[in-house]
Amino acid sequence: MTKRAAILTAVAGLAMLASVAAWGYPRPGPSPRNWQLDFKFGPLKMVRLSRPADKIQTFWYLPYTVTNNTGRDVDFYPRCHLFTDTGQLFQAPQGVDPLAYPDIAELLGRELLEEELFVRGRLLQGEENARESVIILRDFDPRAISFKLFISGLSGETAWATDPMTSQKHPLVKTLQLTYALGGDRFSSAELTAELKDEEWIMR
Q: For 40-90, what is each residue's pLDDT tens digit?
A: 999 999 999 886 667 888 999 999 999 999 999 999 999 999 999 999 999
Between 18 and 88, the more confident residue is: 88
Residue 201 near residue 172 (C-beta atoms within 8 A): no
Torsion sign, CA atoms 180, 140, 1, 51: negative
Residue 22 has pLDDT above 50, yes or no: no
Q: What is the pLDDT of residue 62?
A: 96
Residue 168: phi and psi, rounded to 5, are -80, 135
User: What's at 192, amino acid-wise?
Assistant: L
CA angle 11, 14, 20 (to 5 degrees): 135
Q: What is the pLDDT of residue 151?
A: 98
Between 184 and 82, the more confident residue is: 82
Between 6 and 196, the more confident residue is: 196
Eight-state DSSP code of residue 5: H
- Strands 89-91 and 79-84, bridge-based pairing: antiparallel
Q: What is the pLDDT of residue 98?
A: 84
Average pLDDT over residues 182-197: 83
Give the global pTM.
0.83
Q: What is the pLDDT of residue 193?
A: 94
User: What's at 144, amino acid-wise?
Assistant: A
Between 187 and 176, the more confident residue is: 176
Q: What is the pLDDT of residue 131?
A: 94
Residue 7 has pLDDT above 80, yes or no: no
Torsion sign, CA atoms 5, 23, 152, 41: positive
- 99-152: pLDDT as tens digits: 888 889 988 988 667 887 778 999 999 999 999 999 999 999 999 999 999 999
State the number of CA atoms in the 13 A half-sphere of 22 facing the CB: 9
**Which residues fall within 8 angstroms of residue 125, CB to CB, at 6 or more apart?**
68, 69, 70, 71, 72, 73
DSSP E strands in the chain: the ranges are 38-41, 45-50, 56-67, 74-76, 79-84, 89-91, 121-123, 131-138, 146-152, 158-162, 169-181, 191-193, 195-203
- Point out the least confidently predicted range of 26-30, 36-40, 106-110, 159-163: 26-30
Q: What is the pLDDT of residue 15?
A: 45
Q: What is the pLDDT of residue 9?
A: 45
Residue 170: phi and psi, rounded to 5, are -125, 135
Residue 169 near residue 29 (C-beta atoms within 8 A): no
Three-state SS at 186:
coil
